[in-house]
Amino acid sequence: MLKTLKMSNQRMRVQDFKLSDEGGHPNKVPFKCALFAVDQPSDGSPHGAGGKKIRISSSVCDQYLQTFVGMALNIDYVNGMADHDPRFKVAFIEKASRSMDGYAWIEGFIYGKDFPDVVATIRYYNGLAKEYNWSEYQFGASLEMEASVQNASDDENVLDVMEFCGTGAAILFADAAAYKTTSFAARNTTKGQGDVEMTPEQAKAMEDAMKTLQESMATITASVQSVVTEVGSIKTEVTNMKASKEEDEQKTAEEQAAADLKAAQDKATALEKELKELKAAATPPGEPERKTISATSLLSKYGANLSGSEDGTDYKTFCASVDALNLSSSESFKLKMQAKAQFAQKESV
């Protein structure tokens, strides 16, 4: 079970903030910190442990302690240096080791030139803790890790860390760390320089500056939240615009389909009209319209001429007359047959 753990809420072991005579880089102020005690439960429950204490054995410490090397330390000005602020990194971890007295230690440097206020703040409050025995003003370190844990067999309120990966640490007041035995110490990089004493006026100015910085950080946080809200509003507007565009596109598609259907209907009507016109134009101009005349009427019309004929030429004349009428083939043939029968009857009389 992988958990992200941040140690907090307990006091650390007080250790004086000492300055050394070591020379070095102008932007490196060395520090040394007892990060946590091994083989014993923490004094409080770290964030992510579900209210339980944690315990790191010496064997697990030896196996995974080096994962802290290369990680950073942060400090939280907004919350009065009593919590973690991973985005405000001020120091770098160069070494990690376990001491014979049962503590995990880390060493490294603070970026003193970049964060002179951090160095001065630690010196000032550690000095107060030493002079007046105000342990609440003692600085220490609170580790940050991702860890695999399991319930301890000897204590239901303890989680044993089986493996971990150090992701960093925070510099904070002693009362805010899970292991009261942790501490934070720093060394000066300028040879021969002693502890820096601060006058009451300087201390007041430092406190005012820190208060101003806290207010500025709070303003920045509010601004960031405002930007997040505005971005959310913009996302909503974009979503609405996309939905409106899709709706308009759907309406346009429906309107286009209706227009295409009407165009097809108009075209069908035009083709039907054109077909009628072509049919009407199929009969040449001036061609007599065909008439249907019954054989009886036609025989009655030509009966006088036929009855008075003395040879067969009248039958031929009759056939020619029938052909001139443009009758259908069946009607023409029927009349001719009737006429032929009539002529044959007359000839036999």
Q: What is the mean pLDDT of residues 250-272?
A: 85
Measured CA to CA, the distance from residue 98 to residue 194 in angstroms comes to: 29
List pLDDT tens digits, range 82-138.
678 888 999 999 999 999 888 899 999 999 899 888 888 888 887 787 777 776 667
Cα–Cα nearest to 338, from 303, 286, 291: 303
Q: Give the rounded distance of the alpha carbon of 46 from its chain centre.
A: 33
- The one-character DSSP state at 178 is S
Taking only the tens place, the pLDDT of each residue in 30-58 is: 988 888 889 999 877 787 888 889 999 99
Q: Where are the domains positioned within the chain?
A: 2-214, 295-348
E-strand stretches of 241-346: none
CA angle 8, 64, 86 (to 5 degrees): 40
Q: What's residue 221's pLDDT?
A: 67
pTM of the model: 0.49
Q: Identify the DSSP state of 137.
A: G
Half-sphere exposure of 56 (CA within 13 A, CB side): 30
Q: What is the per-residue pLDDT for 124?
A: 83
Residues 36, 143: contact at Cβ < 8 Å?
A: yes
